[in-house]
Structure 1
């Protein structure tokens, strides 16, 4: 991995590798740039640098990490090796201090260089101005979006009491030349900081970093524990201290290698309607009130470059980043949760709607205990459907995972639906914002059934249907508004008794076009407490028990 210290170094390297297309024709930040990026991502094309954006004097870089190749260029296997070294050190800590030094020697140069350094002067403060968001190349991605959104701003805040820093990416709808929405979510670092600021009757100082080294982008989206600092890990990966400059207009220092820094504060007492926004679940997030970010000063590098991304139906740029993050942190999961062998969240669904965990079940119902542990761990707590297996195959193979479960699950004991829980802010399948349910399905141990593989002629005459995998049938149904009893009826249809799991979709052909289209169609629209039916539901020891087929 090259040690890119800023965005320009990264773009220059991409250009040499043939991974950057420079576009000198004028393009429009309203819809056009986003559509170009979506088409390029679909073809696994290069990063894009637009040098002439209508209405702005600044160039715009997009699709920075939109292929596995660019992910490897930006972060490389060195990042993976460092995580593996840390995991090995934690898994088998040396008994003596001397042995500890010997085993950790390869990490020593990085450990010494950890942290940051604040200077009184630096290049980022040489060009500063009053905010004027209308002059920056801020994009509008979808026709019904509420306006232009800053989509790749690295939001830097500090805990009002402890001073602990946090860096995260939150969408920011532009309201005027100096104010935006700040889409803080309570379950994430910036949201926690804002909560404590409000508790103490104060605003939250906020810097928004545009551009910077790939390492900083990476750790701003990584699912880190609350007290693990993104700047610290970025300096660890780069092998040197991060340089900051004293901010003459605010309390937070300015990251020196940024292209832009928008400096101001987020006001927890001023809420404003934000949205709609076309999001990564493939639908629009609706209009809700969020706190307002008030920018007081903009600092710029020399010849600065703005950055943006596009979200929507996968695969988009976040799909590749999310998969890489999972691969990277996979050695850490067994150290945090000893009964876990592997965890995989499926980017095909937008990550949070569906995940699988591979466990080693040593005691009775340890699979369920592990599932509860997973659902209480950081951002994994946002998982809506969790599949638990003792499979030896790759968790990334969803068909193999599902087949393994269907051969083993006793739905009376292995299917759990937990209602009235918090749901991901972007998931609208629940009864109201932030509220919904979760599902755990366990498939461990010996096989309990032989799965059907083919659809009988009688079924084909009665339903438009096709298997997704052995034991899982997909049926095209009428819209719920036209037949509210359809799912109940097919759950009790004797012709379907051999199929343990049935999914009802509105378009069979589109849903089964690929595994990705099936997973996206089903799990982004599915809410366990309201959308599960069974041939029989009974109560045993105050718990609902389901008899297949499960619809």
Structure 2
């Protein structure tokens, strides 16, 4: 019997723009206005990180020492706000993950009754088709240069001001401005060089870099647009590790629960979100680069200065009273790691669809959100843990940067370091249960890698050994009767304060 894919559990209204999301947060008492003077250099970073560590509210800085545009920080600093950006309450995230897994492999309806039963899936597909409009709030006014924006310098040894929440829109050479399905949206940090120049730091494996190579091969400048202060669905779609064939613009419609609107740029042949706060338009010319960095990164270290493409800004349009959205990247916890925790839960149903024995998976934020994975499986045969390791490393490009996988089984809590340590200490033999692989792809920001972009991987089988995996009788795990544990808790609750 074919199962009907789950319906989207979305319960919050669509947030048409950043302002609607901020109004929702403020109505819940989840937005704080900072009236005291704050410096854009380093001090604002300290406030953002302090708020995040306390699971604090969105911050609005009205009295900073830069141009007179309010700065918004810590937007997705809590799991609840990331969920809200998806239109969900936090407890609905697993259900939405199942919905997204269904979108990746939908069951084709055969009859009208089947089509009606699949209506949530059909509605999501229709929402994924962007539409164009003529008039846009983001084109109501213009700025004379990048120096009119309050761009932070996050860390003491940073090379200069850094735009940290840009949604960069590109398309490949040979495509038309109206072929929205071929657009790439990526969040790439952008160093400000002057009033009309930026450095775009897109790594070679990212979509923007691939588009740049296609224009460079043709010897032509590439049009680029950057949306600052986009709506939550567009921000999260640009940050999600989507398959290459999935359009971020279209996917943002699925997240938003409404079609994505676009408007033509003023000076480049691209379309952009009309209700963003600011749009930067410009061109990247073949061979034009500048040294980017050093900047503090998600690893907790400064990365070295390296050449990346320069964008010549040709126009800056904005709302009449724009807001500037910013964030801080550093050693976790930071805002990207909070977003990553939610994305972890969204990805689990997709992973389970490919590797059914996976029961749970955790990418610890402290391990830079992807360098380490802990997996709990339903173990049924010898060697199964190693098969799961290899399947994960080969399943998604993001797992190619996961250099350690620990596999456990049973009822352990894989988000408990105590349970992980106990499993490794009692179920793993270093000579038998460790798998090492050499010279595999790795994030070149990993300074532990002996070669730039190449490093080893380690898999640790901390599962109960069965069959040919051991010649010894395995010990029996000690457990109390759950009824006795419940009675003990009740008795203690009655006599202890």
Q: In structure 1, which of residues 76, 85, 97 is the aligned counterpart of residue 111 of structure 2?
A: 97
2:371 matches 1:357: no
Q: In structure 2, which of residues 142, 159, 165 is the aligned counterpart of residue 152 of structure 1?
A: 165
Separation (CA, whole Å) in 1 of partners of 2:104 and 2:316: 42
1:196-211 correspondence to structure 2 within 5 Å: 196-211=214-229
2:130 matches 1:116: yes
Contact 2:198 2:312 in 1 (8 A): yes
Separation (CA, whole Å) in 1 of partners of 2:118 and 2:97: 12
Contact 1:93 1:100 in 2 (8 A): no
Contact 1:374 1:380 in 2 (8 A): yes
Contact 2:136 2:275 in 1 (8 A): no
Shift of 1:373: 2.4
Q: In structure 1, which of residues 361, 365, 373 is the aligned counterpart of residue 391 of structure 2?
A: 373
Q: In structure 2, which of residues 117, 127, 150 is the aligned counterpart of residue 137 of structure 1?
A: 150
Equivalent in the alignment of 1:528: none
Separation (CA, whole Å) in 2 of partners of 1:182 and 1:91: 34
2:272 matches 1:254: yes
Separation (CA, whole Å) in 2 of partners of 1:389 and 1:30: 45
1:96–1:254 CA distance, 2 compared to 1 (3 A): closer
Shift of 1:364: 4.8
1:402–1:79 CA distance, 2 compared to 1 (3 A): closer
2:115 matches 1:68: no
Q: Which has the higher mean CA deviation after the structures are superposed, 80-89 or 155-164?
A: 80-89
2:96 matches 1:85: no
Separation (CA, whole Å) in 2 of partners of 1:289 and 1:300: 29
1:433–1:290 CA distance, 2 compared to 1 (3 A): farther
Separation (CA, whole Å) in 2 of partners of 1:339 and 1:160: 42
Separation (CA, whole Å) in 2 of partners of 1:221 and 1:90: 18
Equivalent in the alignment of 2:207: 189
Contact 2:215 2:286 in 1 (8 A): yes
TM-score normalised by the chain length of structure 1: 0.76
Equivalent in the alignment of 1:345: 363
1:303-318 correspondence to structure 2 within 5 Å: 303-318=321-336
SS at match of 1:225: coil
SS at match of 2:194: coil
Separation (CA, whole Å) in 2 of partners of 1:351 and 1:226: 21
SS at match of 2:465: coil
Separation (CA, whole Å) in 1 of partners of 2:136 and 2:80: 34
Contact 1:421 1:437 in 2 (8 A): yes
1:405–1:96 CA distance, 2 compared to 1 (3 A): farther
Equivalent in the alignment of 1:396: 415
1:268–1:308 CA distance, 2 compared to 1 (3 A): farther
Separation (CA, whole Å) in 1 of partners of 2:105 and 2:149: 48
SS at match of 2:450: coil
SS at match of 1:174: strand
SS at match of 1:375: helix
TM-score normalised by the chain length of structure 2: 0.84
Q: Which has the higher mean CA deviation after the structures are superposed, 174-183 or 353-362?
A: 353-362
Equivalent in the alignment of 1:107: 121
1:266–1:336 CA distance, 2 compared to 1 (3 A): farther
| Paired residues, number | 450
SS at match of 2:198: strand
Separation (CA, whole Å) in 1 of partners of 2:127 and 2:433: 49
Contact 1:408 1:446 in 2 (8 A): yes
- State the superposition RMSD in angstroms: 2.6
1:221–1:91 CA distance, 2 compared to 1 (3 A): closer
1:261-276 correspondence to structure 2 within 5 Å: 261-276=279-294
Separation (CA, whole Å) in 2 of partners of 1:193 and 1:55: 34
1:219–1:10 CA distance, 2 compared to 1 (3 A): same
Q: In structure 2, which of residues 399, 420, 427 is the aligned counterpart of residue 408 of structure 1?
A: 427
Separation (CA, whole Å) in 2 of partners of 1:59 and 1:92: 43
Equivalent in the alignment of 1:34: 45
Shift of 1:411: 2.8
Tell me: higher relative CO, structure 1 or 2? Use CA pairs within 8 A at least 6 residues apart: 2
Contact 1:124 1:254 in 2 (8 A): no
Equivalent in the alignment of 2:465: 446
Separation (CA, whole Å) in 2 of partners of 1:95 and 1:248: 43
Shift of 1:189: 2.0
Separation (CA, whole Å) in 1 of partners of 2:97 and 2:54: 31
SS at match of 2:131: strand
Separation (CA, whole Å) in 2 of partners of 1:94 and 1:107: 10
Separation (CA, whole Å) in 2 of partners of 1:411 and 1:268: 51
Unaligned runs of 5+ in 2: 1-11, 475-497
Separation (CA, whole Å) in 1 of partners of 2:288 and 2:105: 47
Unaligned runs of 5+ in 1: 452-551
Separation (CA, whole Å) in 1 of partners of 2:357 and 2:94: 23
Equivalent in the alignment of 2:456: 437
Deviant stretches of 4+, over 6 Å? 89-92, 447-451
Contact 1:268 1:292 in 2 (8 A): no
